[in-house]
Amino acid sequence: MAEHPTYSIVVEMENAKSIDWDEIGVGLKALAREIAAVSATGFARPKVVVSHGGPDSDADLLQASIETEAPQLTQVAELTFAACSGGRYYDLKNNGVPLTEGNIVVFLDSDTVPERDWLSTLLKPFQHPETLCVNGHTYLSYDDFFSRTFALIWFFPMARGDERFASKRAINANNIAFQRDWIASHPFPAHNGFKVSCTLLMHQLWREGHEIVNVDARVYHYSPRGWRFFYWRALVTGRDADRKFVELHSPTRAQRILKSFTRWGTMSWRTTRRVIGHAPQTGMPIWQIPFSLAVGLAFYTLAFFGHFSLAAGLVRDEIEIVPDYVGHS
């Protein structure tokens, strides 16, 4: 592959329905900065595909909003829009790929904000022709008690001081790049789960013998907010855990039920270790740590109920759709 491979970026806008344009604008300005920085080193002007869940007619409004919030983006990239009316998270990612150009496809979400050198770090391994997939480092931002707690218990590594977890991180659909030919022929798998398809794609990469290159290309994700999100996301986390177990291990109901209990224990212990071990670096006062631990354990107890209820057949395996009331996702 050439020293400077050509690339496109797919930005999904499903999450844009639940955050405000001021926040989206921060991420889009950062994206424009990163594109300008790599273009200055010799990379060609890229195409940015905004894949959204509305009708085609939304393109003009999205274009106007982006030009208002991040006019720099249209100066450094060719902007195009891909409608996927009613599309879910991974549908929007797959929907953007056919409109991309070049050797590499980069995926970014509308509610993530790239740090400096993010794009150059993500693209650098593709100088080697054998590189197929490069995975970045996504972490949750925080500014209060609940966002600090989410950052501690979430499936993303912490921003700093979490090297062991970061080295083993799963692929981040919101911060990852693929050779275009491969991702075009291996889309994110269709699935009822909320955040299951990226795990299935990761295992597909492994089955085919491909290495996933983890790099320190950092973006932060806006923290979830609100008790309603907390309740819903915990239950769906549990249901998704059961779905992953079915796909990757066993569909046997007895084994699924047993897994719901063992995962509850594992996640409770992990939460305890992470809250106690990492809370000080978030700036959380010592007196808040027991409350943070209680919130974290409550989250994974709710996740257990979601996991057990699906494993035991108490609820049906239905398509997960983000409720309108949820807020940040």
Q: Within 10 A of 16 (CB to CB), how many other CB atoms are there?
A: 22
Among candidate residues 133, 152, 130, 177, the one with its CA nearest the CA of residue 9: 177
Element (H, E) at 212: strand 212-221
Compute the distance between CA of residue 163 and CA of residue 265 in angstroms, rounded to an integer.
Answer: 23
Q: Could you tell me the pTM of the whole model?
A: 0.94
Distance CA 46, CA 8 (A): 5
CATH of the structural domain 7-221, one choice from 3.90.550.10, 3.40.50.850, 3.40.630.10, 1.20.1250.20: 3.90.550.10
* pLDDT tens-digit profile, the chain (329 residues): 557 899 999 999 875 555 578 889 999 999 999 999 999 999 999 999 999 988 888 888 889 989 999 999 999 999 999 999 889 999 999 999 999 999 999 999 998 999 999 999 999 999 999 999 999 999 999 999 999 999 999 999 998 888 888 888 889 999 999 999 999 999 999 999 999 999 999 999 999 999 999 999 999 998 887 888 899 999 999 999 999 999 999 999 999 999 999 999 999 999 999 999 999 999 999 999 999 999 999 999 999 999 999 999 999 999 999 887 775 44
Residues 35, 76: Cα–Cα separation, whole Å: 7
How many CB atoms are closer than 10 A to CB 303?
A: 24
Per residue, the 3-state secondary structure of 86-116, as one string, reads CCCHHHHHHHHHHHCCCCEEEEEECCEEECC
Which segments of the chain belong to CATH 3.90.550.10?
Answer: 7-221
Q: What is the rounded distance in angstroms from the CA atom of residue 100 to the CA atom of residue 2? A: 18
Question: Distance between CA atoms of 282 and 148, rounded to whole angstroms?
Answer: 7
Task: Using the CB atoms, write b or e for 207-222: b if 16+ within 10 Å.
Answer: eeebebbbbebbbbbb
